[in-house]
Structure formats: C-alpha cells, structure tokens
Structure 1
Amino acid sequence: MSNILKRVVLIRPAIRPSASLKRACARPSFQRSTNRSFSVNFPSFGRFADAEEQIKIGADYMNKGSLDMAMNSFHKSVQAAPSGAGYFNIGVCYFQMDYAGKHKDAIKSFERSLEYTPNSADAHTNIASGYLMLKDTTNAIKHLEQASNFNPLDGEVQYNLACVYEAVGRLQDAKIRFERAGLMGIDRASTALEKLKKKL
C-alpha cells in the first residue's frame, strides 16, 4: 500500500445505542370498537430495550478489550431488534479482527447499518476504509464522497478523500480537499498540501 493510503484514518469508533430504536417503537395503533370508545395497542418495548442493553454491554466489552464478547453482544442486539447502531458496531468488531482478513465482513455490516441509518457519514467512511484495505480505490472514493456529502464539515473525511484522490492522480481534487481539511482544523492537511503543490 502506498504511503499516501497509509495516512488515511481508517475506522470510526463504535457508537452509542441508536436513537432510531426509540423512534421505531413510538407509534401506538388506535382501534375503534363498536361502542364508540377507543383502545390503544402499544407495541412491545421489550425487544427494543433488550437490543439497546446488548449494545451497551457490547460497548463495555470493547472498552475492556474483549472483542469476542463485544461481538456476541452486538449480534444479540440485532437479533432482538435490527438497528443501524447494532450493525455498525459489528462492523467495528470485524475491523478490530484485522488479522483475520475480515474487511469484507466489516463492509457488509456497515452496509447493513446503512439500511437503518442511510445518511450515516461514519458508516460510509468505514466502508471506504474497508475498500482501501482491499485496494479498491474506486469504491473507497465513492463512499468517502458520500460521507462528505452527508457531513461536509468533517475535516477528517475531507483529508482522507484528499489522500485517496492524490493516490489515484486526481491532484486538483486532492488540492481542494486538503485546503478544506486545513480550514476545518486538520493540522496535517497543510503539510500534505505543501507536498502536493510540488507535484502540480
């Protein structure tokens, strides 16, 4: 892998329980009975609470360095109630299993996460990281551009996109992204920009 690609920040960390689980169960259904009164049927909150609890347990295991136990908890979470947070954290676990070549599995998990949270810049960033590990710069660029679209003020995304653009020879695009990253407080962007200017 080139030195440029080695500079890319690779994964976003595991996230907290998703707010989407709470939104998914918030609508009661109303039924009209024959005596003109209304009854309310609330959906079961138990499985959503179980899923949230498993994500918290998994995050604790990750903080303690127990990757297998964390992965087990995140899988229990998505079995109880599939969520973007659950699949995102499974993807992070696969990334931590770098030695086992789990990048394809990580990508699949982050893609499942996007089914529940389609505008997640972090999921797109991590998918791009997986593709970079697989030396697929075309798909990496596609997902970094998506991450940039969803969170244009993220300097790390701008910096990473600039590095990949530079690696594939899109030097003008790289220059623009390094400049943006610098404006967003990424200190190493100015050094990278100075080196890039020598190539232009």
Structure 2
Amino acid sequence: MQQRSASSTTPHSSTIDPQELAAQEQLDQGTEALAQGDFPKALEHYKHSVQIKETSIGYYNIGVVQYQLRDLAGSISSFESSLAHTPAGVKPTLPDPTQPLPELSPALVILADTHTNLGAAYILTKPPQPEKALEHLQKALMINPDDGEVCYNLAAVLEATGELDEALVAYERAQKLGIQRAELNIKNISAKILGKKREEAEKAQSSGGSVSASDVGPQQGGAA
C-alpha cells in the first residue's frame, strides 16, 4: 500500500479558478491533518474538496484515508473514482529500452500508486479478488517497472493463485530491484515447483507414463 498523499500534481495556473483554489485549500488542510494523524479530520477535508471540484487527487487522498481506517470497500470506490477522473493526458508511454527510465511526473506517480493501492485493497477484501489485484498491480508496473515493492506484491499474489513459475520470475526481479526479503521467497517457491514436478512424475509413473530427468530437475534459484 502506497500511503503518500498528494496536494497537487499540476502547476498552478496564472489564471486563478476560485473553485479550483477552494478545492486545493481543502486538499492542503486535509494533508496537514493527515500528517498529524487525524484521519477523520483529513477525510472530512478531502471529501469537501471533491464536493467543490472532483479531482483525481482528491479521490486518491480519500482512498488513502479510508484504507487506513480499514474501510476497504470505500477505499476501492474512491481509488476507482480517482482513476475515472485522471486527466486524459496522464498515461504511461512505452519506454525506450536502450535508455534509462525517465523520471515519472507527479501525476503518473499518483496513477501508479492508485493501481498499487487497488491491488492491495482487492486482495484484502473478503472474499479476496486476486484477479482484480493482479490487473492493477500489473498496470502499476507498466507505469513504473522499477518499483521493487510492487513487483514483490505481484509475485505474492501470483504465488497465492498457484502461478508458481510466473511468481518465481517476479520474485527474482523484485530481488534485483533491491527487495532483499524476496530471497527467501525465491527459495521457498523453487522448492514448491520442484515438489510439484516430483509429484507429477510420480503420478505419471504410477499410471504407466514416462518422464525424463529434466522434468524434475532443479529450478533456477532453487532451495538451499
């Protein structure tokens, strides 16, 4: 869960829109309250902001507070509203693989965080909705492919849904991106994959089938 709040993602216009200014003031007051740990007051200011003018940032901040208050259904609704109000020009572009990744604009950072937070909320709902969680975590990685935490979270959901090979790849990438705790996951999931292949080999043998040694060989990053 990305917990940062935002006050603005666009430069202030030289032509002041009174409605926009009033909404911004409520955002600023909400962020101040959030920094002081006053979640109800922050939520009140953020909701007042979107009542004045609906913005992606306003709904995003509402979702952050609702998530902290464990209102998962409310946070999902707010984050989805944030996505719906994202300006049309704010969208990820395919990076040049030969060049370093460009720095994300503030609006893209919020967009990536929104998808990340939706992934976390959907996996914590009862019952969990892993398909939706995977969808949003994958979109977050499209925007910021070097976010190791998101990659780790994606791997965890893939593992939980039984997609072990894909999960292993994601854990290995997370480790390369600096998430050191992924090392233990790599060992554990490699052991799971090996055990699954052994089980399949035993079933094949008991049913008269045949397997090759490569079918049950150790996987990359196998368990110690």
What TM bracket, shorter-length normalisation?
0.7 to 0.9
Secondary structure of the structure 2 residue equivalent to 1:153: coil
Distance 1:161 1:116 in 2: 25
Question: Do the aligned partners of residues 82 and 51 (structure 1) sit closer, same or farther apart at CA in structure 2, a change above 3 Å counting?
Answer: same
Following TM superposition, the consecutive aligned residue runs of length 4 or more in structure 1 with deviations greater than 6 angstroms are none
Q: Contact 1:17/1:56 (CA < 8 Å) preserved in 2?
A: yes
- Given candidates 2, 27, 33, the residue that maps to 1:61 is 33
Alignment-mate amino acid for residue 16 of structure 1: A
Of 42, 46, 54 in structure 2, the residue corresponding to residue 74 of structure 1 is: 46
The match for 2:23 is 51
Partner of 1:13: 3
Rounded Cα–Cα distance in structure 1 between residues aligned with 2:132 and 2:6? 27
Tell me the residue number matched to 1:128: 119
Name the TM-score, length of structure 2 as normaliser.
0.71
Name the stretch that deviates more: 104-113 or 46-55: 46-55
Is the 1:14–1:59 Cα contact (8 Å) retained in structure 2? Answer: no
Matches within 5 A, 1:104-115: 104-115=73-84
Structure 2: stretches of 5+ with no match in the other structure: 92-110, 194-224
1:12 partner amino acid: Q
Secondary structure at 1:140 match in 2: helix
Aligned residue for 1:86?
Answer: 58
Structure with more relative contact order (C-alpha pairs < 8 Å, separation 6 or more): 1
CA distance in 2, matches of 1:69, 1:14: 17
TM-score by length of 1: 0.79
Q: Within 5 A, what are the aligned runs for 1:1-200?
A: 11-20=1-10, 22=12, 44-98=16-70, 102-117=71-86, 119=91, 120-134=111-125, 135-200=128-193
Aligned-pair identity (%): 34
